[in-house]
Amino acid sequence: MKLVKTLLASSLITVLTLSVNAKEMPPAGGTPGDFTVPATQEITLENGLKVTFIPYGSTPKATVRLVTNTGNIDDGEKAWLADLSFDMLRQGTATQSAKALAEAVASMGGEIATSVGMDSSFIGMDVLGEFTPDAVGVLADMVMNASFAEADLTRLKTDSQRNLAVQKSSPSAIATEAFYQSIYGNHPYGRLYPTADSLAALTVDDTKTFISSNVVPNRSHLYVSGVFDQAAVRKAVKAAFAEWQAGEARATKTVLTKPGPTLELIEREGAPQSTLRLGLATVDATHPDYTKLSVMNTLLGGAFSSRITANIREDKGYTYSPRSAVVDRLGSAVWYEGADVTAEATGASLVEIFKEIELLASEAPTTEELKGVQNYMAGIFVLRNSSRSAIISQLAFLELHGLDKTYLTDYVQNVHGVTPEEVSNMAKKYLDNASMHLTIVGDTATVTPQLKEVKALEAYQ
């Protein structure tokens, strides 16, 4: 038996060896093609509601989404008011209970969804294409005739209190809020969470006023994307939203950012890890440097194969998932590097992060390294935008920031047009190590001595 096994093993090794030797390497990947924006048809109702029809795909489904130029930016001093207000839209109307609404949409093959952002929010649903006109009617009913029942708000606030408690116990959430406050101060961009008391104090009238003041047709855009009967949907839109009353235009809010350097160390006694947020305000999506800045960010820390990740994760083992990002706001943006590092390696991690920024600012990457980043960005861009909802998100992004469609159609070309020297110049121009905001949530006794050894932090003390 042993001899038979030996012969079989020997034969298998021979076959595998021949197979490996005979196997050809796959062809090199080509350059991703340009992104094509689907053809659209647009109308505007007399009340100012913009409507865009996007025939897309072959699956008989459609996404109906009402995007409004509002969000937490309009909370005022009542953080999370926008979130609760949009949740209230799902709790029933003058003629339908929340259960009836959910069942009606489920019978169309979909479900209701809401999302609240800082500057833009939406309510919508995915349905089978044949039910798209009906979905439009349900959506209009929710927005125009929400019931705003006291019992619903009480339940939603209870859920929100639990969510708040979880968030405020998270080192990541604590660090992120403190970091944004160091940049934006008392501006809504710097206020991410309410207190338990302020959340409890929100009333039905608060949510009703928020919706009536901010979710208005002249600040909204209805998108219908997918496979649907355009003539029937157009008719349904006009019938459902014709009586919606226009409101006040959105007031422009000046965005002022605070210069660095700043350093805030938030105590988390005995923590085995330190949560880091390092960054600063930078240019927004309308700036000519924005695409070059995005390429620089991806190469530096915005991808799994990026330099900072390779350094402090793969090489040093200080952290599991570091990441840098450019976070968009209206008239502003923030670049930051975030990581959860072992407490004992807090100082060493910061040394390496600062070192990678300085290296990129002083020395251009190789053409080969940059090409890999550009192919990654272009490929991800096309893949991420290959769905009904993604197309809507991109078009809404353009409108929010006042960009035209060339931002999308030329994106791949513009990414590949960035040179190694421009990547280095972006780091030099925008990532000044002496002007950063640094927030650390961790064990003060362990972390503080290490910070004194980080040369780049001398200006932060």
What is the tens place of the pLDDT at every residue in 128-165?
999 999 999 999 999 999 999 999 999 999 999 999 99
Q: List pLDDT tens digits, range 308-361.
A: 999 999 999 999 989 999 999 999 999 999 999 999 999 999 999 999 999 999
Q: List pLDDT tens digits, range 279-302.
A: 999 999 999 999 999 999 999 999
Q: Is 255 exposed, middle or buried (0-12, 13-18, 19+ CB in 10 A)?
A: middle
Identify the pLDDT of residue 3: 36
Identify the pLDDT of residue 20: 39
| Domains, the chain | 41-241 (3.30.830.10), 262-460 (3.30.830.10)
DSSP 8-state class, residue 459 = G
The backbone torsions φ and ψ at residue 65, rounded to the nearest 5 degrees and listed phi first, read: -140, 125
DSSP 8-state class, residue 194 = -
Among residues 373, 366, 381, the alpha carbon closest in space to that of 412 is found at 381
Q: What percent of the chain has pLDDT over 90?
A: 87
Partners of residue 115 on adjacent β-strands: 122
Q: Cis check for the bond before 261: say yes or no (omega within 30 of 0).
A: yes
Two tokens at 265? 């160390």
Q: Is the pLDDT of residue 24 over 50?
A: no
Distance CA 89, CA 101 (A): 11
Q: What percent of the chain has pLDDT over 70?
A: 92
Distance CA 54, CA 273 (A): 47
Indicate the average pLDDT of the chain: 92
Sign of CA dihedral 405, 409, 410, 415: positive
12: Cβ–Cβ under 8 A, 6 or more apart, which residues?
none
**Cα angle, residue 107 at apex, residues 106 and 108 outer, rounded to 5°:** 85
Helix axes 346-362, 420-430, angle to 10 degrees: 130
